[in-house]
Structure formats: C-alpha cells, structure tokens
Amino acid sequence: MSKNKFFFKVPKTVDDTTWKAIVLAIPLPEIVDGMKWIDRKILETSVPNKKNKRGETQNLARQAGTGKRDETLLGSFERGIDVREMPPKLINEEGHLSLYGGYGRSVIFEELQYKVWVYDIYEYDESTRNELQTNNLEVLEDAAISDNGSAKSKPAEKSDYVGLLVKRIQDHQWDRNQMQLWFDSIEHCLTKRQVVEYITAAIRKESAIGRIEWYKEHEINQIVKNFDPNMTILNTTDCENGNTQRFIRTSMSMMRSYINSKGVTQEYCLWNSQAVSHQEIDDANVAAESIMNNFVDTCVDFVSAMAKYQTKPCVPSKVVYQKIGGQSLVGEIVDYPALDF
C-alpha cells in the first residue's frame, strides 16, 4: 500500500495476493436497474471488449465520443488504485464481457501500461427493470449514462442525454412527464433547470427529424470555409425572439474588416442550430437581417451623438474591491482605478 491509505500500488499479475486487500477495501457493488451483479473479478485489462458480441461500439452513453482526456484523472491513476472508487463495469452477455462503464479508464490503463485491474461484472435481470425499461438495450443505455453521472466521473454531455431521450421519444412516444421520471431513475449531477432544458431540447430535436437537417458547429465551419473562408458565420437561433448576442459577438470583427477593406460590404452566411420547421428557419433569418440593420442604424446614431455632445460615451468609474489586505474593504464599491499605493 502507498503512503496514502486510499491508494494501492497496481499489482502486475492477476494472482498477486495484494488483490485480496484491495477488493475488500472497495465499496460494495452498485445496484443497477435491470441488472444483477454477479462477480468482482481481477482480469487482464485486455479482456473487456469495447465492442459487444455483435461488433457494435458499446459506449452507448457517449453520443459524441469521450472528448478531451482529463489530465486530473490520469494523475489519479498514476498514484495507483483508489479504493474509494468503484471498478469499471462489464456486462456478461453469454460469456461475452463488454465494457459499459469505464471507457476513459481503459485508455489510461493502456497509457500507464497497467496489465490487470479489478472489474464488477453484471448480467441482465428482467425482474429488476424499472417501469421505463422495456428491453436490455435500454437497461444498458441507462446503466452507461448513470455511470457517467456521478460527480467523480467525467460527466456526460448535453448531447448524450438528449440523444438517448430522442430515441425514447421515437420508440415509446415519451412525453415530458416520462422524461422527467427517466432523469429521476438515473444518476446524474444536473440541476433542475438543466433537466428541463435537456427535455425541451430532446423534444425539439425529435420534432426536427425529417424536416430540418441539424449540423454541429464544426460541420458548419468546414462547409463555409470550403465555400469562402472570408465569410462570417452567424447562428440565427432565437433571433426571432430578440436574441442579439450571437451577432453582437461578431460585430467588432465585422467593423474592423469593413474599415480595413476600405468599405467592402461584409458578407454573412446564416444557419440555425435548433429550428424545427421551415417557417422557423425563415423567421429566424429575417429577424437576423433586422438585427444587423438595427445595429448599423444604432452605430450611425451613436457616432452622430458623440459628434453632437462631445463627451466620452462610456468610462469605468467604480470597481468592486477584491484585494484582500488592501486599503479598502473587500466587497465595497470604490472609485476606479482603486490602486493601492
């Protein structure tokens, strides 16, 4: 055992006697709806399959891949086995052991050349399914996303939750109430506001299927870059509701380019990431054009007002004091620039 009582040095073989103490120190196996725990076993890290017996990718909780590696997680595993954490999880399908919880760790095992690890092995158990689970695939999807739902895991992303909800809407015509019950049945660290937001996003995404092609931002970037790399991209989502933020973020760059090009009209390419109907796209695009025109009119009026009134339009005048041990009280509003000398 290492100097830290929670970390054990990783044994090099399956039959190393140190495993007995490690296994005894790890918390009891988790209860999983629709599954039954059958064993906690020491296996070579090459044994678990990342694909199931049908050759399909088993990481059902990650709609967009695992993303960027967590260096903090790597640092933890460099210290050894943290016995406060649950082992990776395997599903036993007729002797075929497939990984469904612990994909990020499997990559780290390879990098750190850990040849053996402890795993929890489960099998399907129809008698323990919850009322929302109708087949083993749904059991596995719920278990996988729950495994990524604790504060100690790399959290599942919005697209992961939304992707699963869209499937349930299509398969079972779930309504908002059933989707809320689903969130109540799985482990996650989302706020109530996020849950409502994700449910709404799933409803909208499912409604768009067959009507509107939804692209990811990086896909739009590539499409526009191939057409004209100098064109500015504008997401018109919510423009019809008065959302000006996306355009405002492009405005400084647009104005600089206009000045530097000596008056060449700056062109935008519009797209929408959340529209669910043809009409909604049209309404958003018209609203985006109106936002552009209003912005230019406001800029003209602003410059005219500066010329007329001959005053600075804006200055920093106050700051919230945040310097501990300085000349003012922390949290007090003081005159800018509040220098302590």
319 and 302 in one domain? no
Q: In terms of C-beta distances under 8 Å and separation of at least 24 residues, what long-range contacts does 64-70 make, across chains too?
A: 64/157, 64/159, 64/160, 66/103, 66/104, 66/107, 66/154, 67/154, 67/157, 69/104, 69/107, 70/104, 70/154
From first to last of its 341 residues, the chain has per-residue pLDDT tens of 445 688 999 999 999 999 999 999 999 999 999 999 999 999 999 999 887 666 666 666 555 555 555 666 778 889 999 999 999 999 998 888 999 988 888 888 989 999 999 999 999 999 999 999 999 999 999 999 998 876 556 778 999 999 999 999 999 999 999 999 999 999 999 999 999 999 999 999 999 999 999 999 999 999 999 999 999 999 999 999 999 999 999 999 999 999 999 999 999 999 999 999 999 999 999 999 999 999 999 999 999 999 999 999 999 999 999 999 999 999 999 999 988 87
302 and 325 in one domain? no
264 and 226 in one domain? yes
Assign 188 to helix, strand or coil: coil
Residue 190 lies in a domain: no
259 and 322 in one domain? no
102 and 126 in one domain? yes
CATH number at residue 124: 3.90.1530
DSSP symbol at 85: S
108 and 51 in one domain? yes
Residue 203 lies in a domain: no
Domains identified in the chain, total number: 3
The tokens describing 237, both together, are 């989502």
| CA neighbor of 269 nearest in space, from 304, 238, 310, 228 | 228
Residue 27 lies in a domain: yes
What is the model's pLDDT at position 1? Answer: 45
Residue 69 CA to residue 247 CA, distance in Å, equals 32
What values do phi and psi take at 268, rounded to 5?
A: -115, 150
Which domain does 255 fall in, by range?
217-309
Q: Of 108, 130, 152, which closes a domain?
A: 130
Q: Of 130, 159, 185, which closes a domain?
A: 130
96 and 13 in one domain? yes
Q: Of 84, 107, 130, which closes a domain?
A: 130
69 and 34 in one domain? yes
What is the model's pLDDT at position 153? Answer: 62
Residue 185 lies in a domain: no
Residue 63 lies in a domain: yes
What values do phi and psi take at 324, rounded to 5?
A: -65, 130
Residue 15 lies in a domain: yes
DSSP codes, 53-71: TTS-B--TT-TT---S--H
224 and 123 in one domain? no
What is the model's pLDDT at position 95? Answer: 87
List all residues 6 or more positions away from 317 whose beta carbon is below 8 Å from its beta carbon: 335, 336
DSSP codes, 267-319: PEEEE-SS--SHHHHHHHHHHHHHHHHHHHHHHHHHHHHHHHH-S-S----EE
13 and 123 in one domain? yes
Residue 200 lies in a domain: no
321 and 277 in one domain? no
Q: E strands, the chain, where? A: 7-8, 35-44, 81-82, 89-93, 96-101, 116-124, 232-235, 268-271, 318-320, 333-335
Residue 164 CA to residue 132 CA, distance in Å, equals 13
What is the model's pLDDT at position 2? Answer: 45
111 and 74 in one domain? yes
Residue 330 lies in a domain: yes
What is the model's pLDDT at position 341? Answer: 75
Look up tokens 């025109």; give the residue.
293
